[in-house]
Structure 1
């Protein structure tokens, strides 16, 4: 059976220090940047001493006024020459910085134009600007991607919610026309119940999608008894299971896991909803098996195995991507492509691993791996 596992969540360090960059700020490099100043000082000092030495060789006990003026003039020429040279080599850098500061809203082009630093300090500022711009651009691109995903999902969610609302309206009209037919009214009530459940599932997914951005504010880690939570979640979906001739079965011994009960219940609800969605059209009775197993390192796993239509092998690596529905999405109108994506995001934040196995036409198995030592790795990142 083809299998795909979500890569283990490993938070990246927030503060990366590059050793070459650290070595840039040493006393040696500080002196190297000021080497022209030192050379200029000693040149002026050398010429001053040379003039004084010549005066002493002519038998004078003190230097003459003309010698002192000549020394001062020579030192001034050297300093002015040095200043002119230093300004010439740094002029382009200062001009680029001035243009960037003068701009009301510095663009990426203006920031990237600051590229002609002459000293190591100026080169370091260039690197800082480039890294800051890259970090800002990455953050902005990530924000835009999330906004596009959210907008796409909102539009898709509204579209899916319009269908059950329209169906309920049609059923109410039929009920008004057939008030004396008890059997017809019973069927209408059953259909209305099914549509209301679809609305509830859609609202729940929308709510949890909105909460995912503020996950840290809406999580509480406890030691949760696994089997009672599984049975409670099954009971919330028992009517839908009965309508689709799906019979849940729970196997294994109860264990305690470190997780958030509310978010784990949401995950199980998504998996049960998917099992119902992709199994209800198969004839006959189907089994939805929940299996709790121990792991060699002390953790445990919870597997959900359905007998639905399965997933094509080439679709497995993409089933956790947002809005991806694959071949099944063309067969089942309710597919949004967000359920497994949300499951992956929640599992990564809770420190759980998630894997999926499927065989086309046979069924699908989704497994959550609980590692109590890793539950906090992804929570506060």
Structure 2
């Protein structure tokens, strides 16, 4: 780095070096002409002394200027290499010339303006998130009332009225879909403050899965999806956020299986291992995912072929599930065969939960 900095320093002052050499050449030429006009007026050694003295003072001046500005170059180089951090204060302290001080003053003013605009943007974002959270909470109340009214209505409809029963079930399904959409919006808004809404404990994974399946019982019966749970496992995680992930996976499994005829199975396997942690696999018999869509299904707002054909996908569900798993230190992966089914696998590593902060930072930078 030092040689590169010196080379840049000399390159920037090339015009001064050339001018100094040109003046030395002119001086030597004048001495030679004068000596030719008046032979013996000056000795040849005098010319050598002149050249040596001029070169010495030229090099000395460049060396003093370089030593004086070396710290500025060093800190400027460090600031460039560490572009993710702000080093305006260091550059301001090490500036030497008036030009450098003006540039440092400009950088300082630009930094102040940037921080002011960033603070205003953050305040605006906080107000927006607060409004979204309040709106979601207000919308959940009428949805709960609608669900209760539908339950009362379905109990009062005679079993012979099949059309009325079907209509009530459809209204139930739409209300559930709206409720899940509001929940997704709520959890997405809370994702930026994930660490503030976190409670880690030893959790029975099999019980969490059963609760998720009970919440989807109506949809499973309506679309002839039979869930089967194999195994038990205890994991260290946040139960509420893990429920969000499982709700999204199970909901997708049912949504993309309902168009198939006959009975479909939803296979859930848990493998507990004290050394390698736990592995959860959820396999459906739905439409599957196109191979070219698999690398992008965890990207925000990506719907893929299935989402566009179904017309119900927002492209945020699997993104939210991936983000939650990453922040919890779990690994979410997918494998699928088009027309056969899809398997989502969550790997719970023993030390994965301690990667909470670093993994979340990596994911935010990747987006």
Do residues 243 (structure 1) and 222 (structure 2) align? yes
Do residues 334 (structure 1) and 319 (structure 2) align? no
d(CA) in 1 for partners of 2:357, 2:294: 26
d(CA) in 2 for partners of 1:228, 1:240: 19
2:327 maps to which residue? 349
Report the 3-state secondary structure (helix = DSSP H, G, I; strand = E; otherwise coil) of the residue aligned with 1:375.
helix
d(CA) in 1 for partners of 2:247, 2:162: 31
Alpha-carbon deviations, 1:146-201, whole Å to 9, x = none? Answer: 97xx99xx8xx99xx9xxx9xx9xxx9xx9xxx99833221211111111111111
2:175 maps to which residue? 196
d(CA) in 2 for partners of 1:258, 1:296: 12
- How many pairs align? 249
d(CA) in 2 for partners of 1:267, 1:232: 13
1:225 maps to which residue? 204
Do residues 284 (structure 1) and 251 (structure 2) align? no
d(CA) in 2 for partners of 1:256, 1:379: 23
- Large movers: runs of 4+ above 3 Å: 116-119, 294-297
Which has the larger displacement, 328-337 or 295-304?
295-304
Superposition RMSD on alpha carbons, in Å?
4.4
| Higher relative contact order, structure no. (Cα contacts within 8 Å, ≥ 6 residues apart) | 1
2:166 maps to which residue? 187
1:258 maps to which residue? 236
2:32 maps to which residue? none
> 2:275·2:350 contact (CA, 8 Å) conserved in 1?
no
Segments of structure 2 that go 5 or more residues without pairing to the other structure are 3-64, 73-87, 362-367
2:278 maps to which residue? 300
Give the TM-score normalised by the residue count of structure 2: 0.58
Instruction: Name the structure with the higher helix share.
Output: 2
d(CA) in 2 for partners of 1:305, 1:281: 17
2:245 maps to which residue? 267
Report the 3-state secondary structure (helix = DSSP H, G, I; strand = E; otherwise coil) of the residue aligned with 2:241.
helix
d(CA) in 2 for partners of 1:348, 1:126: 40
State the Cα distance separating 1:317 from its structure 2 match: 0.9
> 2:230·2:268 contact (CA, 8 Å) conserved in 1?
yes
